[in-house]
Structure 1
Amino acid sequence: MDLSTLASGLDTIWVVLTAAMILLMEGGFALLEAGFVRQKNAVSIIMKVFVDIAFGALVFFFIGFAFMHGKDISGLIGTSGFMLGGDLSHIDLTISHDTFWLFQCAFVIAVISIVSGAVAERINFHAYILYTIAMTGLIYPIAGHWVWSTGGWLGKLGMIDFAGSAVIHALGGFAALAAALFIGPRIGKFADNGTPNIVPPSNLPLASVGAFILWFGWFGFNSGSTLSATNATIGHIAVTTMLSAAAGGATCILFTMFRYRKADPPMVINGSLAGLVGITAGCAFVSDIVAILIGAVCGIAMVFATEFLESKRIDDPVGAFAVHGVSGSIGTLAIGLFAKPELTAGYGQGYSGLFYGGGWSLLGVQTLGLITVSVWGFGLTWLAFKLIKKIVPVRVSRDEELVGLDVGIHGVPAYSQDDDFIELTKLKNSRG
């Protein structure tokens, strides 16, 4: 066995294992969101996660991968690779196209899971399936093509997004914002005068376990994006990932103690996730100290973003926009400020951030890319729901929402209690 064959085998094992770590994050999303919502809607969260995985993988296999990584047309969209067939010779890696598809599939499933939380407790299950098809087959793949594919126009301009602060998190976060705006707040979330009512989470220990699983999976998310087991930067990527997440959590603990006089558990959970989101774009390209700074800024910004949404009567039950949209934006722009030329040079780029003598060029490209991807995610999501509304209702009925989606839509409670079945019987009787 020659060295190239051995390296290819090691790279394949590495990418498959990190893809599996990213897929395990779906368990984290499930637990996090089920813990944040009310008990009567826990099963609906789990069912949406299964939609993310099942429909997301199939749609990405049939069309999404081709649009994202297929042979390019004018930097806008791919045209080969449907069902992993056709000309994919431009994808020059040490791993097979099958292996590369698996890793990319894990990413697309994560994107749709971001939107899931923003519409929790009130979206029609049929509408969610249709939106999942739109996101995994069209919205995300085209944005990803612009930045990550061979020939994508934003990539050609020099945009850097190592593991997806923009392509995954900003896009998913702004799509979540559009979805939350389109579907409207939950019944009773806001008083008539606009004051937000507290909707207590059903199980914060469950949510925290979900966050820990996401934190674990993020090492696959970021380090796996090297696509190589022998890449010397894997250790540095893991360290910046850890430090940014820790800084996001620590900052939220201290900041909420100062602001609310008590450390706020949901904010602390989301603060750690905000740090992870923020470092995703630059995990390979910034120093350890900068990673801590990014995490800290993202943690504080997440708190303010959460409060801002509530002041505008926008209901985002799990903080999808505050965590992913805001922190993804900060992380994307941070590269334009803090990218170290010796670190980017390892990936054949050699770009420098503003504070490392690179001038305004990289920051300008990062800003353009962020705005483009965010507007695309928001606009196409709004359009998708407008079209879906012509086919099926986007929101569940009032009775179904009050009873809970578990019983009202799926016909089974998360926890077997006699009261749940009494409510189910009442709902069935009311339907005749």
Structure 2
Amino acid sequence: MLRRITKNTMKLLTLGLLLPGAVMAEESAPPAVNDMDTMWVLLAAFLVFFMQPGFAMVETGLTRAKNAVNILAKNFMDFALASILFFLVGYGFMFGEGNSFIGLSGFALEGMSDGNLPLLASWFFQAVFCGTAATIVSGGMAERTKFTSYILSTAVITTLVYPIIGHWTWGGGWLSQMGFFDFAGSTIVHSTGGWIALVGTMFLGPRYGKYTADGKSRVLAGHSVPLAALGVFILWFGWFGFNPGSQLAASGASNAGAISLITVNTNLSAAAGALAAMCTVWMMYGKPDLTMCMNGALAGLVAITAPCAVVSPGASIVIGILAGMLVVMGVMLLDKLHIDDPVGAIPVHAFNGAFGTLAVGVWGQKALGLANDGLLHGGGFTQLGVQATGVIAVGAFAMISMAIVFAIIKSTVGLRVSLEEELRGLDIEEHGMEAYSDFQIFTTR
């Protein structure tokens, strides 16, 4: 009797929620899945989720103490918002049936399926990637963006911009049909976030005091290099879920071999990126700047994300070296253009995401699963041309669409805090609290 009452109660609750995805999960489960593959994808998703605090630590450490709560709040709410919106809308736009531009079905997962994995496992893996793309934007727009405005922009990114780009590629859209290859998201995730960060930063303008009257750059030093270093180590660790997890299977000799290659390539590129950035900044400025070394490692990770499954370990080292050099040059370029990126999000994610995607067409190998050999393996410019098309299309779409969004936000609720709020710190003004007790001293009359 008790079991019958409980069963009927659960049915009523399910009907009352009016979420078709909940019914679908019970009625449309795949008939047979591989347990090992499922557990591997979920474990990888957990590692990618752990990258969220990694981003939070990097951004918080590289910005000033008076804005620490604001940075943490944006990273925290990025994932919360991305989870809900990607479940209700984004996953359908990305993987639903529709046309070559956008999916038009599968909202709240209704009617969706994944032939190789339980649908909910597949959704969760994709959801943490969506959260990552949104979080990248936070660093470039740090220390002067209204919290409300930032949340609004995140909602658009996770609901529309990222899912549409994902549909073009991983969802079987027009870029996928051309043969575009981005294994784990150098362009789809990282460049998308990086280009949006660039647009947002340009709309905001530089932080107060960043540039002198004669145009020289000032260092607005972050308050905790140890915190930022911890964040980079967390991200490096999480990337072993980001890239190898994108194999989406672990059972069988071929998958085990692929995961091993991807893991080694990921690590080698990160290490090479850190070393190359250290050498580059040391030669140029006479000191091995640790923050550049850390961004060099991240640049290597971003750059190898697209080609990690189709290049050799030797090629991954070369890609990492070039990525580490590129991130240093990118920081210098932005400084000359007076584009204020507090944490280096644009050189790391936009520039190196584009470079890594192009690297597929240079070092990629057909023997490892690519449609065409890359330029250095006798394949000519065929694959490189396809990769370049994807880089340009995604960059243009991300920048133009979010420029419209930022323009609307700026003209309505406003995008940037007041000068007084910026000087005092966003923690007190936006959140009414401090990251560090008694950091600010107030006097009363």
Interval containing the TM-score (normalised by the shorter chain): over 0.9
**CA deviation after TM superposition for structure 1 residue 196, in Å:** 0.7
Q: Which residue of 2 aligns with 1:34?
A: 60
Secondary structure (helix, strand or coil) at the match of 1:72 reads coil
Rate the CA distance shift 1:77–1:6 in 2: closer, same or farther, 3 A: closer
Aligned positions of 1:211-226 closer than 5 A: 211-226=232-247
**CA deviation after TM superposition for structure 1 residue 395, in Å:** 0.6
Task: Quote the Cα distance in structure 2 between the aligned partners of 1:208 and 1:246.
Answer: 14
**CA deviation after TM superposition for structure 1 residue 23, in Å:** 0.6
**CA deviation after TM superposition for structure 1 residue 314, in Å:** 0.5
Aligned pair 1:422/2:439, yes or no?
no
1:99 to 109, 117, 121: 121
Q: Which residue of 2 aligns with 1:336?
A: 361
Task: Quote the Cα distance in structure 2 between the aligned partners of 1:217 and 1:377.
Answer: 25
1:246 to 264, 268, 271: 271
CA shift digits 1:123-173 (9 cap, x unpaired): 0000011000000000111011101113x1000000000000111111111
Task: Quote the Cα distance in structure 2 between the aligned partners of 1:41 and 1:68.
Answer: 34
- Given residue 351 of structure 2, which amino acid in structure 1 is its aligned partner? V
Aligned positions of 1:130-149 closer than 5 A: 130-149=152-171
Task: Quote the Cα distance in structure 2 between the aligned partners of 1:261 and 1:271.
Answer: 17
Q: Which residue of 2 aligns with 1:429?
A: none
Secondary structure (helix, strand or coil) at the match of 1:352 reads coil
CA shift digits 1:96-143 (9 cap, x unpaired): 111111000000000011100001000000001100000000011101
**CA deviation after TM superposition for structure 1 residue 421, in Å:** 5.3
Aligned pair 1:398/2:419, yes or no?
yes
**CA deviation after TM superposition for structure 1 residue 390, in Å:** 3.5
**CA deviation after TM superposition for structure 1 residue 350, in Å:** 3.8
Give the TM-score, by structure 2 length: 0.90
List gaps (5 residues or longer) in structure 1. 427-432
**CA deviation after TM superposition for structure 1 residue 55, in Å:** 0.7
CA shift digits 1:306-337 (9 cap, x unpaired): 01101111100000110001111110001001
Task: Quote the Cα distance in structure 2 between the aligned partners of 1:375 and 1:342.
Answer: 32
Aligned pair 1:255/2:280, yes or no?
yes
Structure 1, 295-304 or 378-387: larger mean CA deviation:
378-387
Task: Say whether the 8 Å CA contact 1:52–1:109 is kept in structure 2.
Answer: yes
Q: Which residue of 1 aligns with 2:347?
A: 322
CA shift digits 1:52-98 (9 cap, x unpaired): 1111111111111111111131x100011100113x35x43x21111
Task: Quote the Cα distance in structure 2 between the aligned partners of 1:206 and 1:396.
Answer: 26
**CA deviation after TM superposition for structure 1 residue 5, in Å:** 8.7
Secondary structure (helix, strand or coil) at the match of 1:77 reads coil
Task: Say whether the 8 Å CA contact 1:271–1:299 is kept in structure 2.
Answer: yes
Task: Quote the Cα distance in structure 1 between the aligned partners of 2:294 and 2:412.
Answer: 37
Aligned positions of 1:206-355 closer than 5 A: 206-230=227-251, 231-232=255-256, 233-344=258-369, 349-355=370-376
CA shift digits 1:165-195 (9 cap, x unpaired): 1111111111110010011110111111211
CA shift digits 1:350-408 (9 cap, x unpaired): 42111112121111000000000011111111111112224311111111110000111
Q: Which residue of 2 aligns with 1:66?
A: 92
Task: Quote the Cα distance in structure 1 between the aligned partners of 2:332 and 2:376.
Answer: 31
Aligned pair 1:43/2:69, yes or no?
yes
Task: Say whether the 8 Å CA contact 1:406–1:414 is kept in structure 2.
Answer: yes
Q: How many residues align?
A: 412
Rate the CA distance shift 1:6–1:98 in 2: closer, same or farther, 3 A: closer
2:144 to 112, 122, 126: 122
Equivalent pairs: percent with the same residue?
45
**CA deviation after TM superposition for structure 1 residue 10, in Å:** 1.0
2:393 to 355, 366, 372: 372
Aligned pair 1:198/2:224, yes or no?
no
User: After the TM superposition, which segments of 4 or more aligned residues of structure 1 sit over 4 Å from their partners?
Assistant: 4-7
List gaps (5 residues or longer) in structure 2. 1-29
Task: Quote the Cα distance in structure 2 between the aligned partners of 1:192 and 1:165.
Answer: 37
CA RMSD in angstroms, aligned pairs only: 1.5
**CA deviation after TM superposition for structure 1 residue 259, in Å:** 1.0
Task: Say whether the 8 Å CA contact 1:343–1:350 is kept in structure 2.
Answer: no
Aligned pair 1:169/2:204, yes or no?
no
Structure 1, 7-16 or 318-327: larger mean CA deviation:
7-16
Task: Quote the Cα distance in structure 2 between the aligned partners of 1:82 and 1:63.
Answer: 5
CA shift digits 1:241-294 (9 cap, x unpaired): 000000000111111111111101111110000000000000000000110000
- Given residue 393 of structure 1, which amino acid in structure 2 is its aligned partner? G
Task: Say whether the 8 Å CA contact 2:33–2:117 is kept in structure 1.
Answer: no
